[in-house]
Structure 1
Amino acid sequence: MKSESTTQHKGAVTHHELKQTLGTWQLWGIAVGLVISGEYFGWSYGWASAGTLGFVITALFIAAMYTTFIFSFTELTTSIPHAGGPFAYARHAFGPTGGYIAGAATLVEFVFAPPAIALAIGAYLHVQFPGLEPKHAAMGAYLVFMALNIVGVQIAAAFELCVTLLAIFELLVFMGVVSPGFQWSNFTKGGWAGSDTFSMGSFHGMFAAIPFAIWFFLAIEGVAMAAEEAKNPKRSIPIAYVTGILTLVVLAIGVMVFAGAAGDWTKLSNINDPLPQAMKFIVGENSGWMHMLVWLGLFGLVASFHGIILGYSRQIFALARAGYLPEWLSKVHPRFKTPHRAILAGGVVGIAAIYSDELIQFGGQTLTANIVTMSVFGAIVMYIISMLSLFKLRRTDPNMERPFRAPLFPYFPAFALVAAVISLATMIYFNLLVALVFAAFIALGYGYFLMTRHQREVAPADALLEE
């Protein structure tokens, strides 16, 4: 009976295989591309509560969290190169329930991030075409890039690398164009939550701004979900992660400082297109530079949007393959070898979020801000359970092959864990309504998890998670 069961499982796995085609540069492109839209919008909402100087401190704290997290997370990614990413690590460390928590949190992160980015794409296009409704443009972006992801991961990754390089070039152009008007006094005026001097009240704004500092780096961990499609994940993923986080930290600090020093930063603190508006301070509304920025700015948004579609689809695929979601979502396209059903399923949820103003616009926040915050809640919960998984596996599975070991263990993962817990606590305090909606999603999913135990028992065997 044992051999028969094994044969059935192996036969089932062949229907759920992904194609190994990605090299180091393509993985770097995915790592940076997943995140780079965070340099274009979202972060400036943090200025509204923390001010520029307060937000710098918040951003540096979060940058330290992400740097230590990525160096630690890479150990898990190279030890268990699995399309489920965090889901696979937590399942390996804590069993099915741990896998569910990590998988559900990651799913919230990656399914809610794209609609926020799509709305920003719509806002950028609206600047050029005032008659174009931003939400309709956002839906159009979904349709185009879901199709591109379905056609093939090699094509998708090549496209991702190209638009990521263009996006980085555009950010450098932005900093160069606004540099003649750079005045540090612009950046520091009212820099402590609207005040010129630091006070205890400044801490309130700095903590409230945490979700928007996280948006600078959100989703870089999505490279883990491309691990099964990498040619040599144990070598290429560490390089992609380390160079990727360093690239993003430099760009985040540069863009934030140059935008804030260009003029009145308060006019940039609650909008979806802060870079074009910052450039207006220097070159005026009708400058060719201005129009170039709007068009090139789309590359950064597209890079992240396209990359996160790849990420959420692999997460849905992996959860469905393991029996945590309906099995039909794990089917791979017979020709393109991509998880086409998972791509479409995440897109349906994202498009619904775009048109759900009444449901998502609450607590005094804009639709975009609430979607960003929801995505960040998923990310932070996933970071916490991932670091706990790292500590657990170091203790319970010391002989596991670890091609990359977290440097300065246990200090790096411990800092990342503590910083993530602090971030989660402050986010709950400042965003209680969004936290309750997030908890409701997790609770509903857990109910489904409890009712579908048999579904997981008959799911295809997963050699990467078996000892």
Structure 2
Amino acid sequence: MQATLQKTLGTFQLWGIAVGLVISGEYFGWSYGWASAGTLGFTITALFIAAMYTAFIFSFTELTTSIPHAGGPFAYSKRAFGPLGGYLAGAATLIEFVFAPPAIALAIGAYLNVQFPAIDPKTAAVCAYLVFMALNIAGVQIAASFELFVTLLAIFELLVFMGVVSPGFSMANFVKGGWAGQDTFSLAAIPGIFAAIPFAIWFFLAIEGVAMAAEEAKDPQRSVPIAYIAGILTLVLLALGVMIFAGGAGDWTKLANINDPLPQAMKLIVGENSGWLHMLVWLGLFGLIASFHGIILGYSRQIYALAREAYLPSYFAKIHPRFKTPHRAILAGGVVGIAAIYSDELIKFGGQTLTANIVTMSVFGAITMYIISMLALFKLRRMEPEMARPFRAPFYPLFPAIALVGAVICMATMIYYNWLIFCVFVAFLLLGYGCFLATAPQRNRKGSDGQLLAPGRQ
């Protein structure tokens, strides 16, 4: 009998995962949106994305509680659209969760480089991978408890940041050149508002990863909705607070296109030698670590679920005999992430930094998955009206429609402004489709319990 994942996670731990998966987005990544949209233009983008995510999470929770499965979106889309739909959602989710960690790891390296200039950011990023892959292998209870701890510290540090910069905050700083470098709005600012979409999504990217921990929750039908809803509200408030306070600290143009905007914003207020600055750098690492650690948990469950269903080689569906974690899946995603860190010449194109391009690649995966998930919600409502739904999307069909339309708008604008990265994204999907076709014989031998059967026992 194959080993299974253990049900050990409670509501508070799931909330910690929901916020922790995303909270690094408050520390870095989003400020790249200022480079194209300005502070005011990016605020418009961020509010639009916040509304989309709020509608999405309220709708996505229905799927998560109805089908608690480690594959998350893969499982929902497979049930609604069959194997090909399952593949597309699973592959998109995998790209999202495999490409987000190297961007976060590079930010961890950048934060450490502030304190220790002799440390190479890429070396620090690889060391982060090794440490947190090991922690994830050690057990989900340990991993979730650590995730909750660092998430609480990260939230505390964001509140400290807002408090320390508030005496020097000036709304005049925030609005100066706030419309793509101009002080007043004009039609010329609109393209920048759309171009900034990937970096506004970074504020909330990966919150849906809680779905991949649902199979390990003690009572997913009750705890997942609470974790999701409390999580998205927490993140919206933190995102708006951090963005406004950082932009009002001084010349915000110095914070665009860098990996450590919060320490640099605080430096504008307290100077380079302040103890507050050093504290922010050290405690700021907890926000990055929370997301990095949590997304490793997410990508490993996605790889594990796809392999368990024979969409990937069954080698990755093995559970560690002692720790009961998908150790091979954890290591596999780490190998891809470390390769991305050292792929400057392959990924650094289109006039953007390596980190910005990795963020955009991850966002392409996320948006694709959001679209498929909302379509699956509509399809399952029609196809299986009697399916048990412990949580039903409020204001149906309005909320899922808002999420779907918002995601489609995001996808269209991202393709327009990031055509080269989109082509690479499609290439990854086609490569995965080849694996999907190659593993078809394994799926055809599966029994009703989801396990592979020996030939002749169908």
User: Under TM normalisation by the shorter chain, which class is it?
Assistant: over 0.9
Paired residue for 2:381, among 370, 394, 403? 394
Distance (Å, rounded) in 1 between the aligned partners of 2:124 and 2:68: 36
* 1:198 aligned onto 2:185: yes
Q: Is the 8 A contact 2:309 2:450 kept in 1?
A: no
* 1:429 aligned onto 2:416: yes
TM norm structure 1: 0.96
Q: Which residue of 2 aligns with 1:6?
A: none
Paired residue for 1:242, among 220, 229, 233? 229
Residue 181 of structure 2 aligns to a residue whose secondary structure is coil
Alignment of 1:141-290 (within 5 A): 141-290=128-277
* 1:299 aligned onto 2:306: no
Alignment of 1:33-432 (within 5 A): 33-432=20-419
Distance (Å, rounded) in 2 between the aligned partners of 1:361 and 1:308: 23
- The alpha carbon displacement at 1:460 in A equals 6.3
Distance (Å, rounded) in 2 between the aligned partners of 1:152 and 1:452: 29
Deviation sequence 1:201-223 (CA, Å, 0-9, x none): 11100000000000000000000
Distance (Å, rounded) in 2 between the aligned partners of 1:69 and 1:179: 32
Distance (Å, rounded) in 1 between the aligned partners of 2:110 and 2:97: 21
Distance (Å, rounded) in 1 between the aligned partners of 2:343 and 2:427: 17
Distance (Å, rounded) in 1 between the aligned partners of 2:450 and 2:69: 10
Q: Is the 8 A contact 1:174 1:279 kept in 2?
A: yes
Q: What code does the residue aligned with 1:441 have?
A: F
Q: Is the 8 A contact 1:151 1:338 kept in 2?
A: yes
Q: What code does the residue aligned with 1:176 have?
A: G
- The alpha carbon displacement at 1:242 in A equals 0.1
Q: Is the 8 A contact 2:304 2:316 kept in 1?
A: yes
Q: Is the 8 A contact 1:102 1:381 kept in 2?
A: yes
Distance (Å, rounded) in 2 between the aligned partners of 1:393 and 1:385: 12
Query: Runs ≥4 in structure 1, deviation > 4 angstroms?
Result: 459-464
Distance (Å, rounded) in 2 between the aligned partners of 1:140 and 1:347: 11
Deviation sequence 1:151-191 (CA, Å, 0-9, x none): 00000000000000000000000000000001000000000
Relative distance call for 1:170 and 1:134 in structure 2 (3 A) is: same
C-alpha RMSD over aligned residues: 0.9
Distance (Å, rounded) in 2 between the aligned partners of 1:401 and 1:59: 35
Relative distance call for 1:461 and 1:140 in structure 2 (3 A) is: farther
Give ranges in structure 1 of 5+ residues lacking alignment: 1-10
Q: What code does the residue aligned with 2:31 have?
A: S
Q: Is the 8 A contact 2:64 2:214 kept in 1?
A: yes
- The alpha carbon displacement at 1:86 in A equals 0.1
- The alpha carbon displacement at 1:139 in A equals 0.1
Distance (Å, rounded) in 2 between the aligned partners of 1:87 and 1:440: 19
Q: Is the 8 A contact 2:313 2:439 kept in 1?
A: no
Distance (Å, rounded) in 2 between the aligned partners of 1:455 and 1:136: 39
Q: What code does the residue aligned with 1:91 have?
A: K
Residue 374 of structure 2 aligns to a residue whose secondary structure is helix
Give ranges in structure 2 of 5+ residues lacking alignment: 452-458
- The alpha carbon displacement at 1:461 in A equals 4.5
Deviation sequence 1:264-313 (CA, Å, 0-9, x none): 00000110000000001110000000000000000000000000000000
Distance (Å, rounded) in 1 between the aligned partners of 2:436 and 2:17: 31
Q: Is the 8 A contact 1:322 1:462 kept in 2?
A: no
Q: Is the 8 A contact 1:323 1:457 kept in 2?
A: no
- The alpha carbon displacement at 1:451 in A equals 2.4
Q: Which residue of 2 aligns with 1:23?
A: 10
- The alpha carbon displacement at 1:450 in A equals 1.7
Q: Is the 8 A contact 1:321 1:460 kept in 2?
A: no
- The alpha carbon displacement at 1:328 in A equals 0.9
Deviation sequence 1:91-142 (CA, Å, 0-9, x none): 0000000000000000000000000000000000000110000000000000
- The alpha carbon displacement at 1:456 in A equals 1.5
- The alpha carbon displacement at 1:248 in A equals 0.1
Q: Is the 8 A contact 2:174 2:252 kept in 1?
A: yes
Q: Which residue of 1 aligns with 2:456?
A: none
Percentage of matched positions with identical amino acids: 80
- The alpha carbon displacement at 1:444 in A equals 1.3
Q: Is the 8 A contact 1:321 1:459 kept in 2?
A: no
- The alpha carbon displacement at 1:463 in A equals 6.5
